[in-house]
Amino acid sequence: MAADVAERQLPAARELSPRYVSLVVGANDTLRDAFAIERVAAALDLAHGALSADGAVVLTACLPDPGRMLGLPAPLARPLARRMRAVNTVVHAVSARYGGVHLHLADHPWVGERDAWSVDRLHPSERGHRLLARAFHAALADTGLPVGRPPALTLDGRPPSRAASALWMATRGTRWVAARCTDLLPGLLALAVKECRHGLAGTGRLLDAAADHATRGALTALGTERRPTDPAPAPAAATAPGADRLPKDAATAPGAATMTG
């Protein structure tokens, strides 16, 4: 969640005084009933602005829409795609505002590969993390920064078997689905009904126009926000919390922090 990144993860990341920060947020927000692009934009702007003011190189990415990844039917997928498009527009604009390194992840061909994703279809597998790391490596190299050799694609271990994936879905995955059913599902069903109603009336463009208007409003509001200028803590190299989710050769990079939402 973008709010969690700004309120909880940002202070922890700044204490590390990282040279590089991956700020990849937004997908979880699209899966919440109370989604509001203006709140996502404000949280992202706060985090990116503070980290950039500290002198960190901030990496961001446009993400694929969850409806496509989950294979949802069109009336359910379209509202999520609309939300993800709004988030990606904001991420791209905020990255450009602060001079971050932006990756158009949603356009990468490997995004559609099944083995690049974990069983929940929303989080990268180890191979997906490695492909993502290589894509960011290339983006950093394009800026002229010294990045060394690209991360290896060799996996640390075997991918989870179908049995292991099924076990995960039957245990931890079930809890995740149950949580989403009480949060997202009622709102998503309402969005689907609205989508169908507008589809039958031939007025689906009005939903797109409303989403675009909200996104423009969120970006306009950022122009009135004060950029964070708090002094950075004393420099220190450290490995960020959450690095255990990355490949070993990426997680041990000094002066790096990972912020996800």
Residue 39 clears pLDDT 90, i.e. is over it: yes
For 128-165, what is each residue's pLDDT tens digit?
Answer: 999 999 999 999 999 998 888 999 998 887 766 667 66
Residue type at 133 in one-letter notation: A
Q: What is the CA radius of gyration of the chain?
A: 19
Residue 60: closest CA among 22, 5, 20, 4? 22
Contact partners, residue 126, CB within 8 Å, separation at least 6:
155, 156, 157, 159, 247
**Which domains, and CATH codes, for the chain?**
2-147+179-260 (3.40.50)
Is residue 225 predicted with pLDDT exceeding 60? no
- Joined together, the tokens standing for residue 156 give 């640390």
Task: Give rounded-to-5 percent helix, strand, coil for the chain.
Answer: 60, 10, 30
State the pLDDT confidence band at 173, using cuts at 50, 70 and 90.
Answer: low
- pLDDT above 90 coverage of the chain, percent: 47
pLDDT of residue 108: 85
DSSP secondary structure, 135-195, as one string? HHHHHHHHTT----SPPP---SSPPPPHHHHHHHIIIIIHHHHHHHHHHHHHHHHHHHHHH
